[in-house]
Structure 1
């Protein structure tokens, strides 16, 4: 009986998802970061809870529950509105936070700002992919040649 419980416990743990991906707003020191955490609560469920951990140390460290979505289909855009205002967007759902005072706004103001990157599942792991930003006139310069 004990062996069966050990095998079942191992099977239950292997199917669960629990990982994070981070965007470092300060260039990588870790003092100012936005981290997305994806966790599958039950091995039989395909849904995962997604939460944001925002930090700007030592003034701000906060965890905010965002939503539930399929564990293999997490894709959330990160936008910057400047002045430590960040918007996260998944389809029609949007959340806006500010890391200066460690606040989540009740309503999203504006369009969210400039796309910084996307949190998404790559293979089986949650990753952050930075947006490829082109200089403003890059297309105009190429067309003029």
Structure 2
């Protein structure tokens, strides 16, 4: 029986998701980041807990739970409203945070701002993909 449990243990852990992706507001070596962390506690569960870790050291470091979503469908857009105000959008759900004082607002104000990128699954990894900003040529 013990041998059977040892052989089955890797199978129970194989399908679980526990990963994260980060956006660095002040460059890859900075102290200002927004990280989305997704956790699927059991291999049989289709849902994952999604949380935001906001960091602007030394003044701000906070973890807040956002929602539960299907593990393979977590796609969250990141928008910047300026002045360290960030909006996260997943379908019809929206959250707004401010990293100056590490605050999560109860309601989203405005349109969220400029799209910075999206947190999403990429194969077996979770990644942050920056938005492509297209410039419009000036008329002559």
Q: Using structure 1 for the length normalisation, give the TM-score.
A: 0.93
Q: Which residue in 2 is equivalent to 1:53?
A: 53
Stretches of structure 2 lacking an aligned partner (at least 5 in a row): none
Q: Who is 2:12 aligned against?
A: 12
Distance 2:118 2:56 in 1: 20
Secondary structure class of the residue paired with 2:3 = helix
For the Cα contact (< 8 Å) 1:77–1:118, is it kept in 2? Answer: yes
CA distance in 1, matches of 2:26, 2:17: 28
Runs of 4+ in 1 over 6 A off after TM superposition: none
Cα-to-partner distance string for 1:59-101 (whole Å, 9 max, x where unaligned): 1000010011111111100000000000000010000000000
Secondary structure of the corresponding residue to residue 72 of structure 2: helix
Distance in 1 separating the partners of 2:125 and 2:22: 12
Give per-residue Cα distances to partners, 1:94-130, cap 9 Å, x unaligned.
Answer: 0000000000000001000000000011112110000
Q: 3-state SS of the aligned residue for 1:72?
A: helix
Shift of 1:29: 1.6
- Give 1:131 deviation, angstroms: 0.3
State the match for 2:88 in structure 1.
Answer: 88
C-alpha displacement at 1:28, in angstroms?
Answer: 1.2
Report the Cα offset of residue 50 of structure 1.
Answer: 0.6
**Cross-structure match for 1:41:** 41
Deviation at 1:132, TM superposition (A): 0.5
Residues of 1 paired with 2:118 and 2:54: CA distance?
Answer: 16
2:84 is the alignment partner of 1:99: no
Quote the RMSD (CA, aligned, Å).
Answer: 1.1
Q: Contact 1:51/1:67 (CA < 8 Å) preserved in 2?
A: yes
Match of residue 77 from structure 1 = 77
Question: Is the contact made by 1:72 and 1:124 (CA closer than 8 Å) also made in structure 2?
Answer: no
Q: Indicate the residue corresponding to 1:127 in structure 2.
A: 127
Please state how far the C-alpha of 1:30 moved relative to its aligned partner: 3.7
